[in-house]
Amino acid sequence: MTCPALPHGVSFWSFLLRIDRDLAQRSRRDECACGGRLHRADYPRKPRGCPDRLPDEYRRRFSFCCDRDGCRKRVTPPSVRFLGRRVYLGAMVILIAAMRQGATPRRVNELSRLIGADRTTISRWQVFWKEHFPKTTFWRIARARLVPAFEIVAYPLSIVEAFVENGSRQGWGNLLKFLSPITIARGLEIKVSEVPEQPAEDAHQRSRSPSKQTTATDSCS
């Protein structure tokens, strides 16, 4: 088994940024449950694992805040760049965890040194993908919708291989979009009705985006 590499360079990250902008746009179209309007209130992030010369916008997690006093609820859309509050970019977390299964230890070491992830951090990612992720509601439901179904030999490598052919940018985009519901609070526990419709037919050329947005809400303050 070999693990597909991430596409090189800034253009990959700007591609992901465009998808995130799109996901954010959809969340913003809905107003707050209280009827208030949603204003931009991004989270500053210091992601590790992307090129140093990326402009600031690439480092912000899009988020919105209700403008009504007394409500001020926060709405954070799913992201293809950020996995929860971690400082590591989602793609790197998946890639390094997958490489543990498919690449030489040297390549894994090089990559983890590059983004400053130590052995303990990487072990934690491994535990997440191997033990926690397969048992989540998100995965149980989302997996059943994937056609053609694919055999899982190892998490997350098998998932990466099912989506990404020859390290294609589109493939990585599709994979990250597929996983984006888990990037919001409680995303791993979302219910059946909230899992975005993932067209099951062509995992490889999938380009449709989720038909329904799942968003996390908490308070801005």
Binding piece for Zn ion, criterion CB under 5 A, among 25-33, 108-116, 120-128, 210-218 = 25-33
Contacts of 70 (CB under 8 A, 6+ apart): none
Task: Give the C-alpha separation, 49 to 66, whole Å.
Answer: 32
The stretch near Zn ion (CB under 5 A) out of 29-37, 80-88, 133-141, 193-201 is 29-37
Question: Minimum distance between the CB of residue 23 and Zn ion, rounded to whole angstroms?
Answer: 20
Q: Which is nearer to Zn ion, 66 or 95 (CB)?
A: 66
Rounded to whole angstroms, the Cα distance separating 202 from 179 reads 16
Q: What is the 3-state secondary structure (H, E, C) of 47-112?
A: CECCCCCCCHHHHEECCEEECCCCCCEEEECCCCCECCCCCEEHHHHHHHHHHHHHCCHHHHHHHH
Q: Among 6, 19, 66, 146, which residue sits at the site for Zn ion (rule: CB under 5 A)?
A: 66
Quote the tokens at residue 201: 């037919």
Task: Please identify, using beta-carbon distances, which residue of 34 and 127 lies nearer to Zn ion.
Answer: 34
**CB-wise, 38 or 94, nearer to Zn ion?**
38
Q: Does 34 bind Zn ion (CB under 5 A)?
A: yes
Question: What one-character DSSP code corresponds to residue 126?
Answer: H
| Tokens describing residue 19 | 């998808």
Question: Per rule CB under 5 A, is residue 71 in the interface with Zn ion?
Answer: yes
Is the CB of 141 or the CB of 220 nearer to Zn ion? 220
Residue carrying structure tokens 């230890």:
105
Binding segment toward Zn ion, per CB under 5 A, in 3-11, 17-25, 34-42, 114-122: 34-42
Least distance to Zn ion, CB of residue 219, Å: 10
Shortest distance (Å) from residue 30 CB to Zn ion:
11
Residue 134 to residue 132: CA distance in whole angstroms: 6
Total residues interacting with Zn ion, rule: CB under 5 A: 7
User: Taking contact as CB under 5 A, which single stretch among the options 13-21, 62-70, 100-108, 211-219 is the one that binds Zn ion?
Assistant: 62-70
Establish if 36 lies at the interface with Zn ion (CB under 5 A): yes
Q: Pairing state of beta strands 43-44 and 216-219?
A: unpaired
Q: Which residues bind Zn ion (CB under 5 A)?
A: 32, 34, 36, 66, 68, 71, 73
